[in-house]
Amino acid sequence: MRHPPLLLVLSFATVAAIAVPSTQKIAASVDRKTVAVLSFTNGSGDAQYDPLGKGIAAMMITDLSNVGSIQLVERERLNDLTSEMQLQHSGLVDPATAARVGKLVGAQYVVTGAITALDPRMRLDTRVIRVESGEIVKTAQVTGDQKKFFEL
């Protein structure tokens, strides 16, 4: 069974969870939802996948930057904060931690995810978390051959 491309699935899940319905005619600047995209965590236990965490987040930021109803938190601001909190080395980012990061950077939503790999397969999971409540509002996942990562 062929899966849709990873970033399309993840970006669609993100937009579906936070985008303002098009029937609303409020000014675009008021409608924009502020979103922070955290680096994906490596749940595989294999350090070779560590760079993918930032790479997937960067690709998602690129895709989401084209969505007019979303305002993204500047990446450097997130990097400074996550380094300070040592989130990159603390394992999976849970909804409470992601919500705390979102509050600190002024985001309404946080997108986070995890990479799991067992050669030759790879799974990528993503979650959209509402900062105000810590509620997970949307999830998505894709699984496939890790050698075909960009075709997922």
Domain ranges of the chain: 6-16+30-151
**pLDDT mean over 63-79:** 84
- Asked if residues 40 and 58 have their Cβ atoms less than 8 Å apart, the reply is no
* pLDDT for res 144: 95
pLDDT over 50 at 17, yes or no: yes
Class of CATH domain 6-16+30-151: alpha beta
- Where does the chain show beta strands of DSSP type E? 33-37, 41-42, 70-72, 109-118, 121-130, 136-145
Cα–Cα distance for residue pair 152/22, rounded to 1 Å? 29
More confident residue, 80 or 3: 80
Maximum distance among all Cα pairs of the chain, rounded to whole angstroms: 49
Cα–Cα distance for residue pair 50/40, rounded to 1 Å? 9
pLDDT over 60 at 25, yes or no: no
